[in-house]
Structure 1
Amino acid sequence: MDIREAREALKLYFGYDQFRPMQEQIITNVLKQQDVVVLMPTGGGKSICYQVPAVVMPGVCVVVSPLIALMKDQVEALLVNGIPAAYLNSSQNASDQYEIESKCLKGQLKLLYVSPEKLLSAGFFSFLKRLKVSLFAVDEAHCISAWGHDFRPEYTQLRALKQQFPQVPVIALTATADRLTKKDIQEQLHLQQPEVFIASFDRPNINLSVRPGRDRYKRILEFLDRHQGQPGIIYCLSRNSTESLAGKLKKEGYNATYYHAGMSANQRAKAQEDFLRDNVQLVCATIAFGMGIDKSNVRWVIHYNLPKNIESYYQEIGRAGRDGAKSDALLFYSYSDVMNLRSMLTEGESKQTELQLVKLERMQQFAEAAICRRRILLQYFGESQSKNCGNCDICRNPPTTFDGTLIAQKALSAIARTQEKANMGLLIDVLRGSRSSQVLQSGFDRIKTYGAGRDVNSMDWQRYLHQMINAGLVEMAYDQNYSLKLTEQSKKVLFENRKVELVKFEEVKQVEAPLVKARPKKELIKDALFERLRGLRKRLADEYNVPPYVVFTDTTLMEMAAEKPTNRLSMLAIGGVGAQKFERYGENFINEIIRFMTEEQDKGNKIKGATHLVTFEAYQQGLSPEQIAVQRQLNPVTVYSHLATLYEQGYSIKVSDFLTKAEYRAISEAIEVLGPDAKLKELYEHLSEGYEYFKIRLSQAVYKKQTSGV
Structure 2
Amino acid sequence: MAGKKINLTDQLKNYFGFDTFKGNQEAIIQNLLAGNDTFVLMPTGGGKSLCYQLPSLLMDGTAIVISPLIALMKNQVDAMRNFSEEDGIAHFINSSLNKSAIDQVKSDILAGRTKLLYVAPESLTKEENVEFLKTVKISFYAVDEAHCISEWGHDFRPEYRRIRPIINEIGKAPLIALTATATPKVQHDIQKNLGMVEAQVFKSSFNRPNLYYEVRPKTANVDKDIIKFIKNNPEKSGIIYCLSRKKVEELAEILQANGINARAYHAGMDSATRTQNQDDFLMEKIDVIVATIAFGMGIDKPDVRYVIHYDIPKSLEGYYQETGRAGRDGGEGQCITFYTNKDLQKLEKFMQGKPVAEQEIGKQLLLETAAYAESSVCRRKTLLHYFGEEYTEENCGNCDNCLNPKKQVEAQELLCTVIETVLAVKENFKADYIIDIIQGKETSEVQAHLHEDLEVFGSGMGEEDKTWNAVIRQALIAGYLTKEVENYGLLKVTDAGKKFLKHPKSFKITEDNDFEEVEEEAPARGGGACAVDPALYSMLKDLRKKLSKKLEVPPYVIFQDPSLEAMATIYPITLDELQNIPGVGAGKAKRYGEEFCKLIKRHCEENEIERPEDLRVRTVANKSKMKVAIIQAIDRKVALDDIAMSKGIEFEELLDEIEAIVYSGTKLNIDYFLEDIMDEDHLLDIYDYFKESTTDNIDDALDELGDDFTEEEVRLVRIKFISEMAN
Which structure 2 residues correspond to residues 534-545 of structure 1 after superposition, within 5 A? none
| 1:72 has 2:90 as partner | no
Distance 2:248 2:112 in 1: 45
Which position in structure 1 is the counterpart of 2:44? 42
Distance 2:250 2:129 in 1: 44
CA deviations over 1:569-618 (Å, ceiling 9, x no partner): xxxxxxxxxxxxxxxxxxxxxxxxxxxxxxxxxxxxxxxxxxxxxxxxxx
Which of 335, 360, 367 in structure 1 is aligned with 2:366?
360
Q: What is the deviation of 1:185? A: 0.8
| 1:418 has 2:420 as partner | no
Preserved contact between residue 361 and residue 488 of structure 2 (Cα < 8 Å): no
Which structure 2 residues correspond to residues 686-697 of structure 1 after superposition, within 5 A? none
Which position in structure 2 is the counterpart of 1:255? 261
Q: What is the deviation of 1:472? A: 4.9
Which of 480, 496, 504 in structure 1 is aligned with 2:487?
480
Which position in structure 1 is the counterpart of 2:295? 289
Q: What is the deviation of 1:172? A: 0.9
Which structure 2 residues correspond to residues 80-91 of structure 1 after superposition, within 5 A? 80-82=82-84, 84-91=89-96
Which of 130, 133, 149 in structure 1 is aligned with 2:154?
149
| 1:395 has 2:402 as partner | yes
Preserved contact between residue 116 and residue 154 of structure 1 (Cα < 8 Å): yes
Q: What is the deviation of 1:73? A: 0.7
Q: Could you say if the C-alpha distance between residues 492 and 370 of structure 1 is closer, same or farther in structure 2, counting changes exceeding 3 Å?
A: farther
Which of 107, 125, 131 in structure 2 is aligned with 1:126?
131
| 1:317 has 2:323 as partner | yes
Which of 367, 372, 384 in structure 2 is aligned with 1:378?
384
Which structure 2 residues correspond to residues 442-521 of structure 1 after superposition, within 5 A? 442=449, 449=456, 451-469=458-476, 471-477=478-484, 479-480=486-487, 482-487=489-494, 490=497, 493-494=500-501, 497=504, 499-507=506-514
**Per the alignment, in what secondary structure is the counterpart of residue 351 of structure 1?**
helix
Distance 2:295 2:81 in 1: 25
Which position in structure 2 is the counterpart of 1:629? none
CA deviations over 1:442-486 (Å, ceiling 9, x no partner): 575677755543443444323422333455543333642631123
Q: What is the deviation of 1:399? A: 0.8
Preserved contact between residue 130 and residue 170 of structure 2 (Cα < 8 Å): no
Distance 2:173 2:505 in 1: 49
Q: Could you say if the C-alpha distance between residues 53 and 332 of structure 1 is closer, same or farther in structure 2, counting changes exceeding 3 Å?
A: same
Q: What is the deviation of 1:361? A: 1.9
CA deviations over 1:655-710 (Å, ceiling 9, x no partner): xxxxxxxxxxxxxxxxxxxxxxxxxxxxxxxxxxxxxxxxxxxxxxxxxxxxxxxx
Distance 2:447 2:282 in 1: 60
CA deviations over 1:54-110 (Å, ceiling 9, x no partner): 122222211000111111111111121228222111212222221221111121122
| 1:232 has 2:238 as partner | yes
Q: What is the deviation of 1:497? A: 4.7
Could you say which structure has the greater relative contact order, defined with CA pairs below 8 angstroms and 6 or more residues apart? 1
Q: Could you say if the C-alpha distance between residues 138 and 157 of structure 1 is closer, same or farther in structure 2, counting changes exceeding 3 Å?
A: same
> Which AA in structure 1 matches 2:244?
S
With 427-436 and 154-163 compared, the bigger mean Cα shift is at 427-436
Q: What is the deviation of 1:289? A: 2.2
| 1:223 has 2:225 as partner | no
Q: Could you say if the C-alpha distance between residues 302 and 492 of structure 1 is closer, same or farther in structure 2, counting changes exceeding 3 Å?
A: farther
- Identical pairs, percent: 41
Which of 15, 22, 25 in structure 1 is aligned with 2:24?
22
**Per the alignment, in what secondary structure is the counterpart of residue 362 of structure 1?**
helix
Distance 2:97 2:251 in 1: 34
Q: What is the deviation of 1:332? A: 1.0
**Per the alignment, in what secondary structure is the counterpart of residue 352 of structure 1?**
helix
Which position in structure 2 is the counterpart of 1:608? none
**Per the alignment, in what secondary structure is the counterpart of residue 296 of structure 2?**
coil
Q: What is the deviation of 1:320? A: 1.4
With 77-86 and 31-40 compared, the bigger mean Cα shift is at 77-86
Q: Could you say if the C-alpha distance between residues 463 and 346 of structure 1 is closer, same or farther in structure 2, counting changes exceeding 3 Å?
A: farther
Q: Could you say if the C-alpha distance between residues 273 and 495 of structure 1 is closer, same or farther in structure 2, counting changes exceeding 3 Å?
A: farther
Which of 61, 72, 78 in structure 2 is aligned with 1:59?
61
Alignment gaps of 5+ in structure 1: 514-710
Q: What is the deviation of 1:152? A: 0.6
Distance 1:91 1:133 in 2: 24
Which of 183, 188, 208 in structure 1 is aligned with 2:188?
183
Distance 1:381 1:28 in 2: 26
Q: What is the deviation of 1:345? A: 2.4
With 413-422 and 353-362 compared, the bigger mean Cα shift is at 413-422
Distance 1:457 1:133 in 2: 60
Which position in structure 1 is the counterpart of 2:10? 8
Q: Could you say if the C-alpha distance between residues 90 and 153 of structure 1 is closer, same or farther in structure 2, counting changes exceeding 3 Å?
A: same
Calculate the aligned-residue CA RMSD, in Å: 2.7
Which structure 2 residues correspond to residues 274-353 of structure 1 after superposition, within 5 A? 274-346=280-352, 348=354, 350-353=356-359
**Per the alignment, in what secondary structure is the counterpart of residue 453 of structure 1?**
coil
Which of 245, 250, 273 in structure 2 is aligned with 1:244?
250
| 1:164 has 2:169 as partner | yes
Alignment gaps of 5+ in structure 2: 519-524, 530-727
Which position in structure 2 is the counterpart of 1:199? 204
> Which AA in structure 1 matches 2:271?
A
Distance 2:358 2:497 in 1: 29
Q: Could you say if the C-alpha distance between residues 437 and 230 of structure 1 is closer, same or farther in structure 2, counting changes exceeding 3 Å?
A: closer
Distance 1:439 1:252 in 2: 53
**Per the alignment, in what secondary structure is the counterpart of residue 299 of structure 1?**
strand
Which position in structure 1 is the counterpart of 2:679? none
Which position in structure 1 is the counterpart of 2:435? 428
Q: What is the deviation of 1:318? A: 1.2
Q: What is the deviation of 1:341? A: 1.9
Q: Could you say if the C-alpha distance between residues 129 and 489 of structure 1 is closer, same or farther in structure 2, counting changes exceeding 3 Å?
A: farther
Preserved contact between residue 313 and residue 369 of structure 2 (Cα < 8 Å): yes
Q: What is the deviation of 1:437? A: 6.3
Distance 1:286 1:12 in 2: 38
> Which AA in structure 1 matches 2:333?
S
CA deviations over 1:124-158 (Å, ceiling 9, x no partner): 23322322211100011111122222111111110
Distance 1:449 1:317 in 2: 41
Preserved contact between residue 43 and residue 324 of structure 1 (Cα < 8 Å): no
CA deviations over 1:414-458 (Å, ceiling 9, x no partner): 324433212223322443456666556657567775554344344
Distance 1:316 1:154 in 2: 23
Preserved contact between residue 231 and residue 298 of structure 1 (Cα < 8 Å): yes
Preserved contact between residue 384 and residue 472 of structure 1 (Cα < 8 Å): no
Distance 2:251 2:368 in 1: 28
CA deviations over 1:492-544 (Å, ceiling 9, x no partner): 6446756422122343699999xxxxxxxxxxxxxxxxxxxxxxxxxxxxxxx
**Per the alignment, in what secondary structure is the counterpart of residue 334 of structure 2?**
strand
TM-score after normalising by structure 1: 0.67
> Which AA in structure 1 matches 2:10?
E
Preserved contact between residue 415 and residue 427 of structure 1 (Cα < 8 Å): yes
Distance 1:45 1:108 in 2: 25
Q: Could you say if the C-alpha distance between residues 78 and 244 of structure 1 is closer, same or farther in structure 2, counting changes exceeding 3 Å?
A: same
Which of 264, 284, 287 in structure 1 is aligned with 2:270?
264
> Which AA in structure 2 matches 1:385?
Y
Report the count of equivalent residues.
513
Which of 174, 179, 183 in structure 2 is aligned with 1:174?
179
